[in-house]
Amino acid sequence: MNTSSSQPTERRDQLLADSMVRTLLPEELRELEELAGAETDTLMKSAEQAAVSAAIAFAEMDSEVNPVPESLQARLYQQAATHFAQNPQQQPMSLEQGSEILLGPGSERRTGLSPWVLTAAAGILALIGWLPRLTSTDALSGEELLQGLVAQAPTDLLRLDWTALEDPSSIGASGEILWSDSEQRGYMRFRGLAANDSAQSQYQLWIFDDKTDTKYPVDGGVFDIPAGNNDVVIAIDPKIRVKQAFQFAITVEKPGGVVVSKRERIPLLAAAPS
Amino acid sequence: MTPPLLPSVALGDNQAISACIDRYSGLVWSLARRFLRDLGTAEDAVQEIFVEIWKVASRFDPDKGSEVAFIATLTRRRLIDRVRRQVRRPEDHTIVEEPEATEWLPEQELAGREDLERAKQLVASLQPQQREAVELSLYHGLTHNEVSTRMEIPLGTAKSLIRRGLDQIRSRVATNTASLPSPS
């Protein structure tokens, strides 16, 4: 690059223009500092602002770029869930932060608190939104609780029965799942699902979204089935937004759950009719 | 005016995180797809960029500029870094010292909404040939030689079109460039 024949202003502006499309080399940066002096930083920032503004303008006018691939979008959601799960300083908030309620599956891994498990013998927790508000003295059966939920549910409530697949944990198991896309929450009820040893394995919920690749279901979180409880209701608290749920699966995973399931053990499945 | 999402993202708000992906993945994808050309590389870059967005979300200050500029600035820097790592351009053959990766400067002022509006108007008003040259250079990340080849114009003409276009954008868009000081 020949600078000896260039006027200082001309050369300075050339370097600033170059900085708008690439990283200046160290020697170019030193040259710019010699030419612009104390104004270098200001000029560089202004050049970058201009480049960014123009790039956004070009992007907004660009009708030829294909939309974001669905598989990439799904990976972004999954990656975000993983990132925030692995970074305690950025733990996802529960929907009612600070409340004793709403500790859904997966909350143990993120918050260190016990998962919210409501048994038929001890219905003790207050719920939010479209869910009925219970007091600590309430003791509803699983059936009463779910009937209450349905009575106040949003219009897009999806209610599906679990189907037990071939797995030792789900022999004779049944139950149902209630989910609302608009509310982004729901509940699962399990009858007869085997209790797990949380030091050995945990159950994990996966939500299949009709708007994303089925290879990348949304992680609905991990949960435990306590020993001695045949009828258990668990709140769902997905880590990322589910646009249109159409299928739910329970897998058995290592403690804490996994980012991508190998789907080796699938005790239960619930699918909307196609 | 759409309220910014990043402050809530920084707190790990699930809805904000999803909304952030929904709102900005298209922009990041467009920039990456144009800048990197290779589909797989662009997808990798988008994923890397979003991880960085999650990491630096707390540094976004709405008083210093728009959220879209924050994300686009970060995106461009990472894309430029990537291109620099991947390809040594012909004009860079004299490189003996690899520049450091650009760092994110949280205190930096960003383009505001007015800057973005001015940029849109200005880009739209550029002469067709100049606009194409600037678009290929700034948005698609092509070198001068590549712009010359793509537009089938002499290299000198390509350089001149790009330079004049970038100067025009810089002097009229950026907030601090209304009157450029002369070098001492």
Of A1-15, A53-67, A154-168, which gets the smallest average pLDDT?
Answer: A1-15
- The answer, yes or no, to whether residue B176 has pLDDT greater than 60, is no
Cα of first residue to Cα of last residue in chain B, in angstroms, is: 42
Q: Is A52 in contact with B134 (Cβ distance < 8 A)?
A: no
Residue A148: pLDDT band (50, 70, 90) is low
Interface test with B, best of A29, A76, A239 (most B CBs within 10 A): A76
The ipTM is: 0.79
Interface test with B, best of A22, A35, A52, A107 (most B CBs within 10 A): A52
Helix (H) or strand (E) holding A117: strand A117-119
| Token reading at A249 | 């699966």
Of A39-53, A117-131, A173-187, B115-129, which gets the smallest average pLDDT?
Answer: A117-131
Q: Is B54 in contact with A90 (Cβ distance < 8 A)?
A: yes
- The answer, yes or no, to whether residue A125 has pLDDT greater than 70, is no
CA distance B14 to chain A (A): 6
Residue A6: pLDDT band (50, 70, 90) is low
User: In the predicted model, what is the mean pLDDT of residues B150-171?
Assistant: 92
Interface test with A, best of B23, B24, B29 (most A CBs within 10 A): B29
pLDDT digit string, tens, across residues A9-66 = 889 989 999 988 887 888 888 899 999 888 888 888 888 888 888 888 888 888 777 7
Please report residues of B whose CB lies closer than 8 A to that of A240.
14, 17-18
Distance CA B141, CA A164 (A): 54
pLDDT at res. A181: 87
In chain B, positions 142-161, which contact chain A (CB-CB < 8 Å)?
none
User: In the predicted model, what is the mean pLDDT of residues B167-177?
Assistant: 70
Of A150-154, A267-271, B115-119, B155-159, which gets the smallest average pLDDT?
Answer: A150-154
User: In the predicted model, what is the mean pLDDT of residues A256-263?
Assistant: 82
Of A36-40, A139-143, B45-49, which gets the smallest average pLDDT?
Answer: A139-143
- Whether A176 and A160 have beta carbons less than 8 Å apart is answered as yes
Measured in degrees and rounded to the nearest 5, phi and psi for residue A66 equal: -70, 155
Distance CA A240, CA B17 (A): 7
- The answer, yes or no, to whether residue B7 has pLDDT greater than 50, is yes
Distance CA B78, CA B56 (A): 13
Measured in degrees and rounded to the nearest 5, phi and psi for residue A68 equal: -60, 125
Please report residues of A whose CB lies closer than 8 A to that of B87.
none
pLDDT at res. A63: 77
- The answer, yes or no, to whether residue A249 has pLDDT greater than 90, is yes
- The answer, yes or no, to whether residue A97 has pLDDT greater than 50, is no
Order of strands, sheet of A268-271, starting from the edge strand that comes earlier in the sequence: A163-164, A268-271, A245-253, A202-209, A218-223
pLDDT at res. A23: 79
User: pLDDT over 70 for what percent of chain A?
Assistant: 73
Distance CA B110, CA B106 (A): 10
Domain spanning B1-110, CATH class: mainly alpha
- The answer, yes or no, to whether residue A177 has pLDDT greater than 60, is yes
Q: Is A21 in contact with B25 (Cβ distance < 8 A)?
A: no
Looking at the DSSP bridge assignments, the partners of residue A125 are: none
Say which of B19, B81, B183 has its CB closest to residue A9.
Answer: B183
CA distance B12 to chain A (A): 4
- The answer, yes or no, to whether residue A96 has pLDDT greater than 80, is no
Distance CA A128, CA A100 (A): 11
Say which of A1, A49, A76 has its CB closest to residue B21.
Answer: A76
- The answer, yes or no, to whether residue A151 has pLDDT greater than 80, is no
Angle between the B155-173 and B144-151 helix axes, to the nearest 10 degrees?
110
pLDDT digit string, tens, across residues B60-107 = 888 877 888 899 989 988 888 887 766 544 444 333 334 444 444 444
pLDDT at res. B28: 94
- The answer, yes or no, to whether residue A171 has pLDDT greater than 60, is yes
Domain with CATH 1.10.10.10 in chain B: 112-184
- Report the residue of chain B nearest A239, measured CA to CA: B14
Enter the CATH code of domain B112-184.
1.10.10.10
Question: How far lies B165's CA from each of A203, A230, B113, B115, B117, in Å?
Answer: 59, 72, 21, 16, 17
Measured in degrees and rounded to the nearest 5, phi and psi for residue A87 equal: -120, 95
Q: Is B26 in contact with A67 (Cβ distance < 8 A)?
A: yes
- Whether A249 and A221 have beta carbons less than 8 Å apart is answered as no
pLDDT at res. B86: 64
- Delimit the domains of chain A by residue range: 8-61, 71-271
Q: Which of A3, A34, A28, A4 is nearest to A16 (CA)?
A: A28
- The answer, yes or no, to whether residue A222 has pLDDT greater than 60, is yes
pLDDT at res. A232: 82
Residue A115 or B47, more confident? B47
pLDDT at res. A142: 53
